[in-house]
Structure 1
Amino acid sequence: MNIIFNSKGIIVFMFFILSFFILSSCDNKKMKIDKVLNYSNDKIKFTVNIEKVIFKKNDNRLKTFVYGKIIIDNISKTDSIYSLEDIFLILGDNEISSNAYIDSVGSVIIQDNNIKNDKQKEHKVYWVFNRRLNLHSIKNLKLLFID
């Protein structure tokens, strides 16, 4: 069997290949966001710069992954301790994200972090919501720290 590709055949073939890649990437939608969240108590100030939101199908459910950078400032006169496991995003009065995870290639065990007085630390992090959030919801996120 001889297959001959003419210009029309190549165009049709490329259309099908392009369509396949577009349809197969539909599960992971990305949205760039520029939002800053703040929280402080008498010891620590948290500033979160949300940079992007990705919608992924995980465990057969569409989830929202919120990515950003968290800056921790020790505003007390003594050393302080914080854990990323105690930092959440909250939507409305009752919907809470997962705790913050370190955004890295491999899995990172979250530990308590010591921060000296008048010092600052930064972490690239992400949170997960168990459903797809709309743009209005994302703009209304707040930061929650449970100490």
Structure 2
Amino acid sequence: MTGFLQGLRGEALTTAAQHRIGLRLKLDSGVCSIPLHRVHHLAGFATLTGEPDDYFLGWLRFHGERAPVFDLNRVVCDAPTAESFGSRIILLEAAAGAATRYIGLLAAGVTDTAADLPELELDDYLPMLYTLIPEPPAEDA
């Protein structure tokens, strides 16, 4: 990642500058970002297992583990994420003690990074989502 974060003059960006760079996404309330240091992996719009319920969309199989996926636009703006070319599942590492290792957030307009966008305050939403993680469906045979 160091090569990616090189400044225009070839100087490495400071840690503080790295934390300002975010993954751009679009919510009904506007364009914002999630700090790159919070993003573990990006996944395409995928087939999910389990029964969707309110904010919960289903389970994503990621490197042999199941990750619950929630609709970020529904959580923040109370409207479902529109399916579009830039819709992606953003995987974050879950907090210590969470029921799963990763948590997925479906978002639209995930197309690039930016340093000049307001950051979505994930910590305002993640604690609630941890309480909404359902029991995973039975393991596939």
What is the TM-score when the length of structure 1 is the normalising length?
0.26
Question: Looking at CA atoms only, which structure, 1 or 2, has the larger radius of gyration?
Answer: 1
Q: Pick the structure with more strand per residue.
A: 1
Q: Which has the higher contact order (CA 8 A, sep 6+)?
A: 2
What is the TM-score when the length of structure 2 is the normalising length?
0.26
